[in-house]
Amino acid sequence: MCPGPRVQASDDAHHMTFYFGYENVELLFTGLVINTAGEMAGAFVAVFLLALLYEGLKISRESLLRKSQVSIRYNSMPVPGPNGTTLMETHKTVGQQMLSLPHVFQTFLHIIQVVVSYFLMLVFMTYNAYLCIAVAAGAGTGYFLFSWKKAVVVDITEHCH
Amino acid sequence: MEKVDSKSCCPVCPEYADTPYMHFIFSDHVTLLFDFWTVQTLAGLVLSFVVVLLLTVLYELSKVWKSNLLARVIQTLPVTPDSALYPPLISDAESNLPVSSDALLTPDPLCPEETPVPSMQFSSSTYRWWLLHSFLALLHTAQVFLGYALMLCVMTYNAAIFIAVVLGSALGYYVAFPFLAKYPKPHSL
C-alpha cells in the first residue's frame, strides 16, 4: 500500500490524467511498449483502425441481424394457397433459429465486438492523449463511413412496416 | 471512511498521494482527467460534482439529439437512392460543404420534428443529407470521448463523483426522453 521511494520517477508511472507523450507507453500487451514518435504514429493508426473496425462491426451486425430477421419473417409468411392454412411450416423455421448459420455468425461477430470494445476501453485508460484522440477519431470516422448504410437500411425496414 | 486517506498513508513520498484506489471512498482530494483539475477543498469537490453532473446530463441529451437527427437524416434521404444518392453526393459535398453548416442545425435542436419536412429537390436534399451526416459523425466522436471521459471519472473511485454521474444520467434521461422523436427505432443509440 505504501511502497518505498522509486529509483526512476518516470519509469513505471501510472498516469491518472491526460498527457501527451510517446515514451514508455505500454499498449495492452507486455511486449508492446511505445518508445519513439514513429512507434506512436503507428500505434495511433492501429488504434484508429481498431476503433473504425469497431464502428463498422457494430453497424454491419445490426444490418445483418435485420436482414436475417426479415428473411425469417419472410419465410414464416403463409404460402398463398386457396385458403391459406399452412402455418405449421413457420414453427419449423423458428425452431431452427438457434442452430442457424446467421445466428452462429452473429455470435462469432459478437465475441469480436466485445473483445475489441474492451481493448478500446483499455487503450483509453492509458490516459495517453494521442491514443485517446485516436479512439475518438476512429469512432467518428467509422460512424461517418458506415452509418449512411444504416440510415438506408432503417429506411427500407420502415417502408416494409 | 476518513481514516483511509492517502495523505496519511505516505507522507514521505508525496508522488504516491494519487495512488489509484480500488474501492469507493468519500474524499475531497481527487484529480479528474486533467492535471489542472485537481480538487483539494470541499468547495472544489462541490464544483466538480456540478460539472460532472452537467457533463453527464449533456451526454444523455446528446444521445437523444443524435437519435432525432438520425430520424431527420432518414427523412432527408432521397426517395430513389440508386439514381440520386451516389453520383451527386460527392460533387455536392465538394462544392457546397463549407457554405453554411449551422443554418440547418441550430434551430431548436431537440425537436427537429417541428421544422417542416425538407423539400425533396435533389440537390438541396442530398446537400442537407450530407451536412446532417457529417454533423452526426462529429456528434458521435464527441459522444465517444465524453463517454470514455465519464468512465475515467468514475474510475477515480470517488463516491461523490460517482453519485454525480449516476444522478446526471438519471436527470438527463428524465429530461431528454420526452423529446425523443416518435418513430420506430429498431436499434439503440
Residues B65-117 have pLDDT tens digits of 998 888 877 777 655 444 444 444 444 444 444 434 444 444 444 444 444 44
**A119 interface with B at CB cutoff 8 Å:** no
**B47 interface with A at CB cutoff 8 Å:** no
Closest to A68 (Cα-Cα) out of A42, A93, A102, A95: A102
Provide φ and ψ at A128, rounded to 5°. Answer: -75, 120
- Is B31's CB within 8 Å of A1's CB? no
**How confident is the model over A61-93, as pLDDT tens digits?**
988 888 877 665 555 555 555 565 555 555 445
Substitution target in B125, B144, B148 with the highest count of A β-carbons within 10 Å is: B144
The alpha carbon dihedral of B144, B148, B153, B157 has a sign of positive
So what's the pLDDT on residue B112?
43
Averaging pLDDT over each range in A86-95, B62-71, B164-173, which range is the top one?
B164-173
Q: Do the Cβ atoms of B100 and B124 come closer than 8 Å?
A: no
Is it the case that residue B17 has pLDDT exceeding 90?
A: no
**B82 interface with A at CB cutoff 8 Å:** no
Cα distance between residue B124 and residue A149, in whole Å: 20
- Is A139's CB within 8 Å of B140's CB? yes
| List of residues 6+ apart from A4 with CB closer than 8 A | B13
Cα distance between residue B179 and residue B113, in whole Å: 10
- Residue B114: all three cell numbers together: 417541428
Top-confidence residue, A55 or A101? A55
Bridge partner residues of B31 (DSSP): B38
So what's the pLDDT on residue B98?
40
Whole-structure pTM over 0.80, yes or no?
no
Closest alpha carbon within chain B to A55 = B140
- Residue A37: all three cell numbers together: 514518435
